[in-house]
Amino acid sequence: MFNNKSILITGGTGSFGNAFVNYLIKNYKPKKLIIFSRDEFKQFQMAEKFPTEKYRFLRYFIGDVRDKQRLKLATKDVDFLIHAAALKQVASAEYNPQEYINTNILGAQNVIDVCMENKVKKVIALSTDKAANPINLYGATKLASDKLFIAANNLVGKEKTRFAIVRYGNVLNSRGSVVPYFKSLSENKSKFFPITHPKMTRFWITLEETVKFVDFTFKIMSGGEIFVPKIPSIKIIDLAKAINPNMKIKIIGIKPGEKLHEIMCPRDSSHLTLEFNKYFLIKPDVVFFSINNSFQKNYLKEKGKKVKDNFEYNSLTNKQYLSINQIKKII
């Protein structure tokens, strides 16, 4: 898929970007991989880990998705783009809404505009379960971003640029993940784990699984889809017990903008949702004039099945849960 191709990752110095570079090194021979991010120190750290002297296909490009001209320069001659740049902290968004709008919505539109101008072939925007029926500003900005990328498929005219979404849950050991935080509390012998609610659940996915799923969706996307991997749920209280079963737990109450359980396929979208072996696909709810696709078959010739009316993919009712012992093995 990526052999002899030029790829750009916005927010490329984050957890996903690092994992994606590792994956590309092991599985492909790209022509060029551009790491686009605004933090020069993180770029320095990443260049220490993946030096361009050894990995000649790597390029480190300082820029912000808010800066359209810089993006346009970076995306010249790019074949594929992964949009991972975002402000992501739920509580922070409630106090700094305009900053989240500027990056997550206006920045997304900048990405769309320059990809159309520079004729990028395929674009996948990384989304979140918090964009499904959002109750917080972060989720609302990501839902707006998703809508922009889906609608962009109608703006390309006769050009071949295509846009799709990958939506997933909490990523194990990613920046901002609760796992490193809980581990630090345990290692520093804190008095307790702060748990917001004893019944709270979350979808769970590893970085490696995320990267592989994005690779897979590049192969099967037509444009306009939201791809949702089938992944397990965990109880947050079980995560704490897996890290340190002897440490006390203190219930501190749900934080601003936080949900008790997360959703990835909303009930209101059940009429648009298809189920495949390893993923769900939410079809666009708008008519595309340049794409003629029922989305019911993928390149593996697997046919998707329409889900039942009012189906909802919810972290509470998910059929697959990780036990405490299973959590221990992956953290």
Active-site residues: which are they? 130
Residue 35 CA, distance from chain mean position: 16
Q: Compute the distance between CA of residue 225 and CA of residue 280 in angstroms, rounded to an integer.
A: 10
* Listed residue (81, 75, 12, 79) closest to 49, CA to CA: 12
Q: Compute the distance between CA of residue 130 and CA of residue 127 in angstroms, rounded to an integer.
A: 8
Burial class (CB in 10 A: 0-12, 13-18, 19+), 328: middle
CB of 29 closer than 8 Å to CB of 23: no
Q: At residue 300, what are phi and psi to the nearest 5 degrees?
A: -85, 5
Residue 236 CA, distance from chain mean position: 20
* 111: CB partners within 8 A, 6+ apart: 10, 65, 71, 81, 83, 123, 125
- The secondary element (H helix, E strand) that includes residue 273 is strand 273-275
Dig out the tokens for 264 from the structure: 């990835």
Region label for 162, one of left (φ > 0), alpha (ψ between -120 and 50) or beta (otherwise)? beta
Residue 22 CA, distance from chain mean position: 17
Burial class (CB in 10 A: 0-12, 13-18, 19+), 300: exposed
Dig out the tokens for 255 from the structure: 């934080």
